[in-house]
């Protein structure tokens, strides 16, 4: 019975894609968070574009963080670990996630739509003070698209996303000494990402490299280039994120959570989790349950 509970809990947070397809290549989220809130790291295949409508949100990436106010836009690349922290509530946001193939296959222009997503987060295009009203207008139109359905809804969202990205790119170019990553580069490491997301067990670098058809050194270098972190760190983050969700999803003992998430040594799990979340697993569970 305990294993059945674990499996059920794991299905609640395993998310490789947003069920997007060629017919449904973009998805919109509209959220209002009415209290200050932290979030653990997230990562997904689809690039992400977000607009703050109200309040202030702190976006957190590996080695960099920044605050976004009403009319500001954030970008997240493919498989890029990221998180957020609400600084001023209520905080209202519109978020789009989309299949990168949507632009490479359907929009025949010389523009590399994914170029800004492949740059380090601190070097991505930013909204100028004079453009915030235009961004908010685009956000309002995106919300209006919820009244539509099917191909018409998709067409409007794609067009509005293009308009937003074109506005951001005006006057911006890839910074010197930086090479933006393209879809094909991301695709090369995708088998390793899928391997991590298929299980919460410990996955070795050698195993991941073999899945991608590369030598260990070549794979490690490419993975760090694409995601900004090592594969070992990436895998560890996912397992710790899984553990955090299991801790608040039920009454599974900490020892059992550690084992389910690939930690054979409970003290090692305790040490890693405390460094990751800032508090012990037991305290994390108590705090989250009483939120």
Residue 109 has pLDDT above 80, yes or no: no
d(CA 51, CA 253) in angstroms, rounded, equals: 39
Which tokens in the block code for residue 142? 């995106």
Cβ neighbours, 10 Å, residue 207: 13
- 53 prior amide bond cis, ω within 30: no
DSSP conformation class of 117: G
Query: Where is pLDDT greater, at 197 or 219?
Result: 219
Query: Where is pLDDT greater, at 219 or 188?
Result: 219
Q: How confident is the model at residue 81 (pLDDT cuts 50, 70, 90)?
A: confident
Q: How confident is the model at residue 249 (pLDDT cuts 50, 70, 90)?
A: confident
CA angle 243, 246, 251 (to 5 degrees): 130
Query: Where is pLDDT greater, at 106 or 2?
Result: 106
What digits encode the pLDDT tens for the residues 153-183? 999 999 999 999 999 999 898 777 656 566 6
Q: How confident is the model at residue 237 (pLDDT cuts 50, 70, 90)?
A: confident
Average pLDDT across the chain, whole number: 83
**Per-residue b/e over 93-126, b at no fewer than 16 CB within 10 Å?**
bbbbbbbbebbeeeeeeeebbbbbbbbebeebbe
What digits encode the pLDDT tens for the residues 128-160? 989 999 999 999 999 999 999 999 999 999 999
Say if residue 7 is exposed, middle or buried (CB neighbours under 10 Å; 0-12, 13-18, 19+): exposed
Task: Give the pTM.
Answer: 0.68
State in words which class domain 21-169 has.
Answer: mainly beta
Q: What is the reported pLDDT for 15?
A: 43
Terminal-to-terminal C-alpha distance of the chain = 28
Greatest mean pLDDT range, 72-76, 187-191, 251-255, 259-263: 72-76
Residue 107 has pLDDT above 60, yes or no: no
Architecture of domain 183-289: Orthogonal Bundle (1.10)
Q: How confident is the model at residue 58 (pLDDT cuts 50, 70, 90)?
A: very high
What residues contact 285, with CB distance under 8 A and at least 6 apart? 247, 248, 254
Query: Where is pLDDT greater, at 243 or 175?
Result: 243
Residue 247 has pLDDT above 60, yes or no: yes
What residues contact 201, with CB distance under 8 A and at least 6 apart? 262
What residues contact 28, with CB distance under 8 A and at least 6 apart? 94, 95, 96, 142, 145, 146, 157
Residue 209 has pLDDT above 90, yes or no: yes
pLDDT, average across residues 228-255 = 84
Backbone angles phi, psi at 182, to 5 degrees: -110, 175
Which tokens in the block code for residue 73? 């836009």
Query: Where is pLDDT greater, at 1 or 98?
Result: 98
| Domains of the chain, residue spans | 21-169, 183-289
Which tokens in the block code for residue 110? 């010389």
Nearest to 62 by CA among 76, 46, 74, 50: 76
Q: What is the reported pLDDT for 285?
A: 85
């Amino acid at each position: 019975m305990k294993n059945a509970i674990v499996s059920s809990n794991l299905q609640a947070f395993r998310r490789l894609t947003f069920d997007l397809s060629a017919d449904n290549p973009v998805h919109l989220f509209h959220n209002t968070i009415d209290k200050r809130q932290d979030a653990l790291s997230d990562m997904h295949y689809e690039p992400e574009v977000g607009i703050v409508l109200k309040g202030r949100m702190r976006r957190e990436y590996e080695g960099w963080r920044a605050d976004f106010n009403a009319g500001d836009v954030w970008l997240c690349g493919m498989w890029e670990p990221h998180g957020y922290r609400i600084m001023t509530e209520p905080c209202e946001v519109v978020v789009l996630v989309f299949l990168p193939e949507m632009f490479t296959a359907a929009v025949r222009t010389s523009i590399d739509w994914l170029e800004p997503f492949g740059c380090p987060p601190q070097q991505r295009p930013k909204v100028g003070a004079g453009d915030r009203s235009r961004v908010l207008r685009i956000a309002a139109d995106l919300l209006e698209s919820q009244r539509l359905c099917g191909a018409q809804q998709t067409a409007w969202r794609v067009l509005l996303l293009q308009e937003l990205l074109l506005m951001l790119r005006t006057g911006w170019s890839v910074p010197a000494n930086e090479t933006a990553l393209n879809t094909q580069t991301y695709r090369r490491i995708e088998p390793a990402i899928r391997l991590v997301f298929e299980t919460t067990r410990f996955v070795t670098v050698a195993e991941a490299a073999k899945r991608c058809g590369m030598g260990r050194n070549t794979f490690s270098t490419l993975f760090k280039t694409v995601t900004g972190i090592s594969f070992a760190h990436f895998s560890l983050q996912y397992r710790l994120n899984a553990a955090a969700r299991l801790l608040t999803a039920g009454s599974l003992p900490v020892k059992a959570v550690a084992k389910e998430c690939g930690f054979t040594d409970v003290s090692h799990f305790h040490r890693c989790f405390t460094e990751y979340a800032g508090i012990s697993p037991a305290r994390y569970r108590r705090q989250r349950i009483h939120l």
